[in-house]
């Protein structure tokens, strides 16, 4: 391999890491901006999705669940301190710290909201030139209760 | 364009993204370290600045307002999950998630502090080799009240 | 220096910045995953470690103190907005914003937990090809009290 080929290989890896960070940034942003169709499109169609031990059948079920549960209630989801590893030409893995503030509309039978702290372990796949989330396991290790959300008058 | 030119172009873009992240890091740090003159110098002189619908005439007015409102009260401002796009040789755009904890000194007529959550949408310009903030729109979408700050005895 | 040498020098710097970010990501993760031996191994053996004015004799004392104080209580430590500067072929400096949520097991004489906000100022050294933390000064500038932790039944 020439010196220039080696340089290009290293550049490819750095660019891939940045692209995956921005992929995950859109993930959090689309959840909180309530862009659920755009959220669904960030995953491979057969992505494995597990949050706190609950598995989802598809990215669509994942996005629909978030849409149905949160409604108009504002939510906050932030990722921190990524550890992205490029594991092949079109594959990568990542670990992220997570903090979220998840409330649900008040009402009979409304689930409890929380401020939560946890960790994502993920796999990524490059498909047609774009990085997508291919697997996601979210584990929260601290959850503090939060009041349900009531719309302003 | 030679292969090496292409490599340099890609390197330039990655370096610009890192420089803009560090520009925004100084922005948050200078706010919380109360370095208001240094804060002002992070903007182009005619930068457009809007926070929650309030426009500022200049970076100086923006920095002075923060200085006057917060006084000695400690504040916390963090940005998360940047999406930086290089849009030209000397221009870029960015989206950041934001969390802040803003208190004001207790006293008659003191404004209410908050823990807030929102989003920055920004434009950047490279001037004389340094990236500066050329436009800033901050929109908070959740604000929880926080007690005013009282100095320790 | 040839154009390619210059490109390699710039690539080295960008890679070092990413490696140091991942070093600090492991630091936070190992604290919260309670991997105290792995935490200790992130430092040079004679690293200078100071948190809120308290000096530690060694990385081992630092890791042991965290292990002893927190026990099984969940903790949360996140870093934000890094400013990493490469200062030599094997040296670098960094500034990080910090937020932590530190609780201790309830019991007689238990120290007070807190939600804290502060800043790290650090030095890094590359040893045998790996970046390590060579100095760490953590200063918290706001600390809000938090209840002690009680294990679930």
Question: At residue C1, does pLDDT exceed 90?
Answer: no
So what's the pLDDT on residue B109?
86
Q: Tell me the sheet residues that pair with A145.
A: A114
Question: At residue A119, does pLDDT exceed 80?
Answer: yes
Domain count within chain A: 1
What CATH number is attached to the domain comprising B69? 3.10.450.50
So what's the pLDDT on residue B136?
98
In a domain, C36, yes or no: yes
In a domain, C137, yes or no: yes
Residues B41-95 have pLDDT tens digits of 999 999 999 999 999 999 999 999 999 999 999 999 999 999 999 999 999 999 9
In a domain, B152, yes or no: no
Q: How confident is the model at residue A1 (pLDDT cuts 50, 70, 90)?
A: low
> Rounded mean pLDDT of B134-147?
95
Edge-first strand order for the sheet with C113-127 is: C54-56, C43-51, C130-146, C113-127, C91-102, C75-88
Q: With a CB-CB cutoff of 8 Å, which residues 18-57 of chain A face chain C?
A: none
So what's the pLDDT on residue B153?
61
Q: Which of A35-49, B22-36, C112-126, C138-152 shows the lowest per-residue confidence on average (mean pLDDT)?
A: C138-152
Average pLDDT, chain B: 95
Which of A1, A10, A32 to mutate against chain B (most B CBs within 10 Å)?
A32
Q: How far is the C-alpha of C50 from the C-alpha of C133, rounded, in Å?
A: 12
Answer yes or no: pTM beyond 0.95.
yes
Start-to-end Cα distance in chain A: 66
With an 8 Å Cβ cutoff, are B80 and A76 in contact?
Answer: no
With an 8 Å Cβ cutoff, are C81 and B76 in contact?
Answer: no
Cβ neighbors of B138 (< 8 A, separation 6 or more) are B50, B51, B52, B98, B118, B119, B120
In a domain, C151, yes or no: no
For residue B32, list chain C residues with Cβ-Cβ distance below 8 A. Answer: 97, 141
Question: At residue B114, does pLDDT exceed 90?
Answer: yes
Which domain, by its residues, includes B9? 3-104+112-146
In a domain, C45, yes or no: yes
Q: How far is the C-alpha of A56 from the C-alpha of A100, rounded, in Å?
A: 19
**By the CB < 8 Å criterion, does B76 face chain A?**
no
So what's the pLDDT on residue C153?
62
Average pLDDT, chain C: 95
Of C4, C11, C141, the CB nearest to B74: C141
> Rounded mean pLDDT of A21-30?
98
> Rounded mean pLDDT of A68-78?
94
In a domain, A152, yes or no: no
Question: At residue B144, does pLDDT exceed 90?
Answer: yes
């Amino acid at each position: 391999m020439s010196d220039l080929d080696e340089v290009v290989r290293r550049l490819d890896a750095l660019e891939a890491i940045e692209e995956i960070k921005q992929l995950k940034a859109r993930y959090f942003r689309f959840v909180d901006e309530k862009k659920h169709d755009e959220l669904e499109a960030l995953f491979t169609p057969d992505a494995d999705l597990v949050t706190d031990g609950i598995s989802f059948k598809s990215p669509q079920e994942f996005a629909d669940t978030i849409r149905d549960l949160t409604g108009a209630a504002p939510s906050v989801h932030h990722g921190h301190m990524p550890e992205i590893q490029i594991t092949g030409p079109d594959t990568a893995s990542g670990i992220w710290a997570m903090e979220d503030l998840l409330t649900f509309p008040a009402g009979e039978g409304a689930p409890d909201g929380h401020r939560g702290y946890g960790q994502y372990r993920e796999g990524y796949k490059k498909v047609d030139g774009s990085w997508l989330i291919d697997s996601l396991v979210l584990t929260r290790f601290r959850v503090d209760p939060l009041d349900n959300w009531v719309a302003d008058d």
